[in-house]
């Protein structure tokens, strides 16, 4: 027999504001979509990986320096594993020095810390700094690239293959997609949020103030809530951008590929982010929700606490945010023994008559059954109390 507890909650949404560059219109009045000049794009919410918008998201294209997002992931993997530290000094090889394109002009034999090289990679898109770190971690760029491809596969990046660690190559075998870029961007900013201390730098210096760095991602200065992430450009890739921004507790990832001009990529990314922040919000079904413990029959504890399994936040259209309800169905009692994780009920999250998520409610701890000595003792205690 089940008991039903209906609990409704209103999700308060805080609308972000934008300032800086003029805001372009992102609504297509004929289709309700988003006006973009780029041929491939995606908009993802970071915590849930929910895709809000996509345009040819699985079309393979050259990512140029957006490649460095994976390079950063492997750097922080190595730091997390204790293989390297931010204070380690890295010696620049002749090969690393020889990189063209975006660089910080490292000299052969020059020593810089891992911390400084991360800054050079994520702020100024230094190809030389990327190769120096690749060689430091894997012994060679080719060995590092193998690690990049293995890591990409582990993230489910099904349409990605790397040939270098910085995106400078013109090889047709160096490719990815908007969807795959969003997946690796999500991994970087959620698993290693400390990356934002680098990706939000607008201007800085290295070499004791002798060399200036300026962020290639102009949204850092001009878009409210920007948290990163990485630009890219080659003649073959066009102008690319993976941009992340956070407002009101929600972080979005916008990816645009093969834009014709640099302003196009920033305007397209802003249009995506504006659309997401204006129309979507996160709700937490467990916020302000109290679930009573379930009575245990013949258990060594009278009650078992209940916990939701895999609840998390839910991305929802803002128009439905005020109609979100939670329906809790719990067993009236459970007979011992009770196993930890044993399902005791269900939480149904709905909005506008539509089921958003069904969450299992389970025992938070084990409750052993009473043994014969326990039952005999209880009977004696009751007899004594009655006498």
- Residues catalogued as catalytic: 65, 68, 125
Q: In what order do the strands lie in the sheet with 51-55?
A: 51-55, 40-45, 250-259, 238-247, 226-234
- Parallel, antiparallel or unpaired: strands 314-317 and 111-113: unpaired
Dihedral of alpha carbons 65, 69, 74, 75, sign: positive
Distance between CA atoms of 33 and 175, rounded to whole angstroms? 27
Strand-pair partners of 34: 27
Nearest to 127 by CA among 216, 241, 239, 203: 216
Distances (CA, A) of 232 to 32, 102, 167, 242, 249: 29, 10, 8, 9, 27
The two tokens of residue 81 are 């594993």
Nearest to 161 by CA among 240, 254, 61: 61
Distance between CA atoms of 132 and 144, rounded to whole angstroms? 11
Instruction: Kindly report the number of other CB atoms within 10 A of residue 245's CB atom.
Output: 28
Distance between CA atoms of 120 and 46, rounded to whole angstroms? 25
Nearest to 240 by CA among 180, 316, 309, 318: 180
Q: What angle do CA 24, 25, 27 make, to 5 degrees?
A: 150
Helix (H, G, I), strand (E, B) or coil at 127: helix
- Residue 27 DSSP class: B
Find the distance separating the first CA and the last CA of the chain, reported in whole Å.
Answer: 36
Strand-pair partners of 250: 247
Q: Which helix (H) or strand (E) holds 377?
A: helix 372-386
Distance between CA atoms of 67 and 73, rounded to whole angstroms? 10
Instruction: Kindly report the number of other CB atoms within 10 A of residue 302's CB atom.
Output: 10
């Amino acid at each position: 027999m089940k008991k039903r507890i209906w609990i409704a909650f209103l999700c308060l949404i805080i609308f972000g504001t934008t300032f800086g560059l003029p805001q372009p219109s992102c609504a297509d009045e004929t289709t309700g979509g988003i006006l973009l000049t780029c041929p491939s794009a995606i908009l993802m919410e970071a915590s849930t990986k929910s895709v809000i918008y996509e345009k040819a998201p699985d079309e393979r294209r050259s990512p140029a320096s957006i490649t460095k997002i994976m390079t950063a992931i492997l750097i922080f993997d190595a730091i997390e594993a204790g293989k390297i530290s931010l204070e380690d000094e890295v010696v620049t090889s002749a090969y690393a020095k020889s990189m063209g394109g975006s660089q910080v002009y490292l000299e052969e034999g020059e020593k810089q810390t891992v911390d400084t090289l991360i800054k050079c990679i994520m702020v100024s898109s230094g190809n030389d700094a990327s190769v120096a770190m690749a060689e430091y971690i894997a012994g060679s760029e080719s060995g590092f690239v193998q690690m990049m491809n293995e890591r990409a596969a582990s993230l489910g990046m099904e349409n990605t293959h790397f040939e270098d660690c910085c995106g400078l190559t013109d090889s047709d075998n160096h490719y990815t997609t908007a969807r795959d870029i969003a997946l690796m961007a999500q991994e970087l900013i959620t698993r290693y949020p400390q990356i934002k201390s680098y990706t939000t730098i607008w201007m800085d210096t290295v070499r004791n103030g002798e060399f200036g760095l300026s962020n290639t991602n102009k949204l850092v200065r001009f878009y409210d809530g920007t948290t990163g992430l990485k630009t890219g450009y080659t003649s073959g890739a066009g102008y690319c951008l993976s941009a992340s921004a956070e407002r009101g507790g929600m972080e979005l990832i916008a990816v645009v590929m093969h834009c014709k001009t640099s302003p196009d990529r920033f305007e397209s990314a802003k249009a995506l982010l504006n659309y997401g922040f204006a129309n979507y919000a996160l709700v937490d079904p467990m916020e302000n929700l109290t679930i009573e413990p379930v009575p245990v029959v013949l258990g060594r504890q009278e009650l078992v606490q209940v916990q939701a399994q895999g609840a998390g936040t839910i991305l929802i259209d803002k128009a439905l945010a005020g109609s979100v309800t939670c329906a809790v169905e719990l067993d009236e009692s459970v007979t011992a023994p009770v196993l930890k994780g044993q399902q005791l009920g269900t939480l149904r999250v709905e909005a506008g008559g539509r089921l958003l998520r069904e969450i299992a409610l389970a025992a938070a701890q084990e409750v052993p059954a009473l043994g014969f000595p326990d039952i005999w003792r209880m009977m004696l205690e009751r007899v004594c109390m009655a006498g």
